[in-house]
Amino acid sequence: MSAKRPATSNLGGDKPKKRRMSLSLESKLNIVKRHEDGEGANSIARALGLAQSTVSTVIKNLANIKMAGDKHNTYGQEGNTATRTYL
């Protein structure tokens, strides 16, 4: 029977684990706009320095991103502007 592999915290070798980064809403809206203007996912990815799969995921979630963008544009930077009435 062969020996088990030694347990290591870094299974990929010498490289540290890559940190996940999130795109801002503005970046996602930019991707959506470019896609709607007819630009392909590969072209957008190269221009913005992103992975093609990241751009494709943003395009796939188009409806949710547009909804978030509409809320952002409606409320602006000040947040919810609804007023409360007290009885």
Q: What is the pLDDT of residues 34-75, one digit of tens each?
A: 999 999 999 999 999 999 999 999 999 988 888 887 877 665
Give the three-class secondary structure for 79.
coil
Q: CA 31 to CA 25: how far, in whole Å?
A: 10
> Topology of 25-76 in CATH?
Arc Repressor Mutant, subunit A (1.10.10)
- Are 23 and 53 contacting, i.e. CB atoms less than 8 angstroms apart? no
For 42, phi then psi, to 5°, come to: -65, -40
- Are 31 and 42 contacting, i.e. CB atoms less than 8 angstroms apart? no
DSSP state of 77: G
pLDDT for residue 82:
57
What is the pTM for the complete model shown?
0.60
- Are 42 and 53 contacting, i.e. CB atoms less than 8 angstroms apart? no
Mean pLDDT value across the chain: 80
